[in-house]
Amino acid sequence: MPDEIVLSDGLEWKGETLGIFELDNIPLPNVGPFTYEMEMVTGDKREVELDLSRYEKLPEKPDIPESEIVESSPAWYRLREWQLVQAGLLHNRMRLDAAHEYCEILLRYIRDNVIAPEDLNRIKTIADFKAVAWRALVPPLTREILANTLRTSFNASYDDEEIFDAMDKTSAGLGAYNAIRLWENQIANALGLRDYEYAQTPLDERSRRVCAYKLPTWLETLEMSRSRRRNIARDNANAAS
């Protein structure tokens, strides 16, 4: 998060930060990309995402009454493609509306829970409000950030492979998003920090703490996985002989 924010009145803003898990009460929009079923040349059917950007010009509806269109005729295929694109466009509008609604709910929450009533008159421009909102939001810790910390701060690897890449090959795997939040919650509890107190921790420090906390467990998991593979290979070899 920014170290210093200056609003349009020329004065620094020292507003509050949300708790790291506080926005869990505001569900993210559950509207994914538009997909449709495509039949492959092999006869298999697969769900694929509709890529509207591939159209230089969107298809037009055939100038023939639908009741007169013969199945499998050129007009029938044009109609099907037009219907598919129209469904994709409608879905994208719904997706955009859901994103706008989420942002509005989020901004109202920040206004009501972060900005003191006496400070509201300091926010005079859209840029002011964006800056205040940016200050309030807690940057998420991601798998990519953790992987970089493992490389740079801990020089960690397993059999010359990055830890997460090696973990992906085990039966344990990584539920990256949920797992990371669980680890951070465990660390905050271990440190006796409340949600908003832990949220003040810089992102790089949060990453180092998670790596220091979990790295021994990850290495132990990898060793157990290797031992299990060796035992299976030995048992298979004995059975074959």
Q: If you ran DSSP here, which 8-state letter would residue 138 be given?
A: P
Torsion of CA 38, 43, 46, 51, to 10 degrees: -30
CA dihedral 207, 213, 215, 216 (to 10 degrees): 170
pLDDT of residue 3: 61
Model confidence pLDDT, tens digit, residues 142-181: 999 999 999 999 999 999 999 999 988 876 554 445 688 8
At 90, is the pLDDT very low, low, confident or very high (cuts 50, 70, 90)? very high
Domain boundaries, the chain: 18-113, 143-240
| Amino acid residing at 88 | G
Q: Give the distance from CA 178 to its chain's centroid.
A: 10
Tokens coding 60? 């037009």
